[in-house]
Amino acid sequence: MHPMLNVAVKAARRAGNVIQRASLNLDTIRVEKKKSNDFVTEVDRAAEEAIIDVIHEAYPRHAILAEESGAKGMGSAEFEWIIDPIDGTTNFIHGHPQYAISIALAHKGQIQQAVVFDPNRNDLYTATRGVGAFLNDRRIRVSRRIQLNECVIATGFPVVDQSMIDTYLAILKDVIGKSAGARREGAASLDLCNVACGRVDGFFEFNLKPWDIAAGSLIVQEAGGIVTDMHGEQTWLESGDIVAASPKVLAQLLQIIAPHVKG
């Protein structure tokens, strides 16, 4: 395992311990609303602090972009860690066991290392650019299905920023009509890992943040999938609009999406 990936794994597991201890007493956790349908807890902050402590112990000069504490050390740093301490906070505070820690490392803007850790299942997804993607040390690959009508597509509802809700619902209607079904589980990092494992055949969502998708996107790519924005371009990390699937399924998804996102 690459030394930097090893640090990310150590950080993710430490945050997982914080989160799972807290999950035993959900009724005592303080929950704040950042905006409509967007929540943060003291556990998010404690887990994020645990991750940053591990990273800065190993790499004190690296920059950090984290969901709760924002950007630190940006500018001259070649390395940037992109962190979501709990992807799926709404699930977490409701006791729904579908959330994960997401940690990615970018070098000069390109994601090189990725970890997504599901503490409920003790599932560790990792990827190093050019080396492959793994679940608990077992190599993973995207689905081999090639016909969309046989595929299950994961998605996420635009519950925080609803500016694209009508466009999204129109796309979802078409996807459901031309696929074997859709799934919405509430944690984009795990949706992407499910694409990488072949548990679902594709994924699309609007208005995500870099920390939601940075790690999962590399895991999909290293598992043989393709990640684009809604136009088939590579602006997904900046725009937050993302489509991920195997090559043949991605082309079919983009064909469905295209009439709804012209311009």
Selected residue with higher pLDDT from 162 and 116: 116
pLDDT of 213-257, one tens digit each? 999 999 999 999 999 999 999 999 999 999 999 999 999 999 999
Instruction: Say yes or no to pLDDT of 160 above 80.
Output: no
Domain boundaries, the chain: 3-139, 148-258
The answer to whether the annotation marks 212 as part of a ligand binding site is: yes
31 SS3 class: strand
Q: How far apart are CA 83 and CA 210, in angstroms?
A: 9
Please say whether the beta carbons of 103 and 12 come within 8 A.
Answer: yes
The answer to whether the annotation marks 241 as part of a ligand binding site is: no
Query: Hunting for tokens 């920059």 — which residue is that?
Result: 63
Please say whether the beta carbons of 116 and 140 come within 8 A.
Answer: no
Q: How far apart are CA 45 and CA 52, in angstroms?
A: 11
Contacts of 162 (CB under 8 A, 6+ apart): none
Task: Give the CATH number of domain 3-139.
Answer: 3.30.540.10
The answer to whether the annotation marks 166 as part of a ligand binding site is: no
33 SS3 class: strand
Per the DSSP assignment, residues forming a β-bridge with 6 are none
Structure confidence at residue 68 (pLDDT) = 87
Structure confidence at residue 37 (pLDDT) = 56
Q: How confident is the model at residue 10 (pLDDT cuts 50, 70, 90)?
A: very high
Give the architecture (CATH level 2) of 148-258: 3-Layer(aba) Sandwich (3.40)
pLDDT of 22-72, one tens digit each? 898 888 888 887 766 567 789 999 999 999 999 999 999 999 999 888 888
Strands 132-135 and 123-128: antiparallel
Structure confidence at residue 249 (pLDDT) = 97
Q: Which of 214, 169, 215, 219 is nearest to 199 (CA)?
A: 219
Instruction: Compute CA distances 130 → 127, 136, 194, 222, whole Å.
Output: 9, 18, 20, 7
The answer to whether the annotation marks 238 as part of a ligand binding site is: no
259 SS3 class: helix
Selected residue with higher pLDDT from 65 and 76: 65
Same fold, 3-139 and 148-258: no
Phi then psi for 21, rounded to 5 degrees?
Answer: -65, -45
Kind and range of the H or E run holding 172: helix 165-178
Please say whether the beta carbons of 218 and 127 come within 8 A.
Answer: yes
Largest Cα–Cα separation, the chain? 51
Structure confidence at residue 99 (pLDDT) = 97
Instruction: Compute CA distances 115 → 38, 186, 210, whole Å.
Output: 23, 18, 14
Which amino acid, residue 35? K
Phi then psi for 237, rounded to 5 degrees?
Answer: -70, -35
Structure confidence at residue 38 (pLDDT) = 62
Please say whether the beta carbons of 176 and 75 come within 8 A.
Answer: no
Q: Which two tokens stand for residue 64?
A: 């950090």
Q: Which of 18-22, 74-78, 184-188, 207-211 has the lowest mean pLDDT?
A: 74-78
Q: Which two tokens stand for residue 94?
A: 């409701």
The answer to whether the annotation marks 86 as part of a ligand binding site is: yes
What is the rounded average pLDDT for all residues in the chain? 94
Residues of 188-201 as b/e, b for ≥16 C-beta within 10 angstroms? bbbbbbbbbbbebb
Q: What is the pTM of this model?
A: 0.95
pLDDT of 63-72, one tens digit each? 999 988 888 8
